[in-house]
Structure 1
Amino acid sequence: MYTNAITSCLWFDGQAKEAATFYSTVFKSSKITSENPMVVTFELNGTKFMGLNGGPMFKINPSISFFVTCGTLEEVNKIWDKLIDGGKALMAIDTYPWSERYGWLQDKFGVTWQISIANDGEIEQKIKPSMLFTSNQFGKAEAAISFYTSIFGDSTTDLLVLYPDGGDHAGKVMYSEFQLSQHPLIAMDGPGVHEYTFNEGVSLMISCETQAEIDHYWYKLTEGGAESMCGWLKDKFGVSWQVVPSIIGKLMSDPEKGGRAMQAVMKMRKLDIATLLNA
């Protein structure tokens, strides 16, 4: 199996640069790494993100949020106070059975964040994508973890907490932590009524060095799912992925080839490196 970089992609309607700049003031060790009118890439304390100005077609929702673990209560409160400005609380910042200090919010750009004090003594701030399996995907979190870890190299299931026997949600995933190619993620089943499920508002982008890697992820992840255009796909759980060559940024920024490469991408489903290089 291959081991590849995974980046969280946020879909914006023209606000990618504004959002990236804002987040860089919230999280330590953050920076914007590249930008053009369509795409802004940035890092928040070492976690890679991409902001895509895709237009009004898709809206970010809480099905994939970002779980921020902090080493101190002061850090939790500081991040919460910055992110809540112009946004709204989904779960108030408070003490809960699972955390001394926890809150869930939606910021002014629609991105949702779960902010928590670390329970295990860790002091390093960490940001992890967190998948919530709701509606017709409820109860599928454990199967999804097994599916994903079978596709990516250097993958592990680090924690799996199920709802106890005897309850309404027995056997469903209360909380889990897993890694895909050493990238940490969280997955939970979300019981109850939710007005959202996975969509293109938040996707996961896989950067591939070779065509063999692109083919591997494309064919595995589309099993039971659906192909889309421009390297996008939906897996059988409804999660959106982008499978792209690592040279895509360099190609798109090439003054001579960029326009032709973009036209080639627009015509493809699964991206083909040779076609892009020869565009």
Structure 2
Amino acid sequence: MKNPIYPCLWFDGQAQEAAKFYCSIFPNSKITADNQMVATFELDGKKFMALNGGPNFTFNEAVSFVIDCDSQEEIDHYWEKLTSEGGKEGNCGWLKDKYGVSWQVVPTILPKLLSNPEKSQKVLDAYLKMKKFDIKTLEEV
């Protein structure tokens, strides 16, 4: 395949605003093209498209974007920025941003912690009670 696959996000007149919002949060991000109908942009080098498609469709949890985080500082950064201005916290690292797009803000250490047979159930029990992941708590259970 010559060109990579990338997502197109459907907005109701907020495509340019959303592209700017996302680019302000992620490193190595930029708007690459913009007109009244479509904005294309990169988040940390990954291509996205935002379409002003109208009110016919809205976002739901059937599709989410996963952000793997190596540190608590990264988790805190993405959680704070994406829940700002009307975003909503969910359980187990899930959230919806102000546009209704679902994100999972996940520590990269989680699979390792869950694969430890002596601690996996305690880690699972702890993270099922969390909204935003707390790496220290998960490591200490």
Q: Which TM-score applies when normalising by structure 1?
A: 0.49
Q: Hey, what's the Cα distance between the residues in 2 that align with 1:127 and 1:144?
A: 20
In the alignment, is residue 155 of structure 1 matched against residue 32 of structure 2? Answer: no
Q: Hey, what's the Cα distance between the residues in 2 that align with 1:246 and 1:215?
A: 14
Q: Hey, what's the Cα distance between the residues in 2 that align with 1:127 and 1:249?
A: 27
Question: What is the CA-CA distance between 1:257 and the residue it aligns to?
Answer: 1.6
Q: Hey, what's the Cα distance between the residues in 1 that align with 2:35 and 2:17?
A: 14
Q: Hey, what's the Cα distance between the residues in 1 that align with 2:60 and 2:118?
A: 34
Identity %: 49
Q: Hey, what's the Cα distance between the residues in 2 that align with 1:130 and 1:187?
A: 6
Task: Tell me the amino acid that sits aligned with residue 159 of structure 1.
Answer: A
Question: What is the CA-CA distance between 1:130 and the residue it aligns to?
Answer: 1.2
Task: Report if aligned partners of 2:28, 2:44 keep a CA contact under 8 Å in 1.
Answer: yes
Specify the alignment match of 2:138 in structure 1: 276
Match for 1:132 among 10, 22, 25? 10
The runs of 5 or more residues in structure 1 that have no matched partner are 1-69, 71-123, 163-173
Kindly report the root-mean-square deviation, in angstroms, between the aligned alpha carbons of the 2 structures.
1.2
Matches within 5 A, 1:102-181: 124-133=2-11, 138-162=12-36, 174-181=37-44
Larger relative helix fraction: 2
Residue by residue, what CA displacement relative to the aligned partner does 1:230-274 show, whole Å, maximum 9, x if unpaired? 111111001111111011122222222221111111101110000
SS of equivalent residue, structure 2 residue 6: strand
In the alignment, is residue 228 of structure 1 matched against residue 90 of structure 2? Answer: yes
Task: Tell me the amino acid that sits aligned with residue 79 of structure 2.
Answer: W
In the alignment, is residue 240 of structure 1 matched against residue 102 of structure 2? Answer: yes
Q: Greater Rg, structure 1 or structure 2?
A: 1
Task: Report if aligned partners of 2:31, 2:41 keep a CA contact under 8 Å in 1.
Answer: yes
In the alignment, is residue 184 of structure 1 matched against residue 53 of structure 2? Answer: no
SS of equivalent residue, structure 2 residue 7: strand
In the alignment, is residue 205 of structure 1 matched against residue 69 of structure 2? Answer: no
The runs of 5 or more residues in structure 2 that have no matched partner are none
Specify the alignment match of 1:264 in structure 2: 126
SS of equivalent residue, structure 1 residue 276: helix
Question: What is the CA-CA distance between 1:161 and the residue it aligns to?
Answer: 2.2
Q: Hey, what's the Cα distance between the residues in 1 that align with 2:74 and 2:5?
A: 26
Specify the alignment match of 1:215 in structure 2: 76
Residue by residue, what CA displacement relative to the aligned partner does 1:208-241 show, whole Å, maximum 9, x if unpaired? 1110010001011101211111111111001111
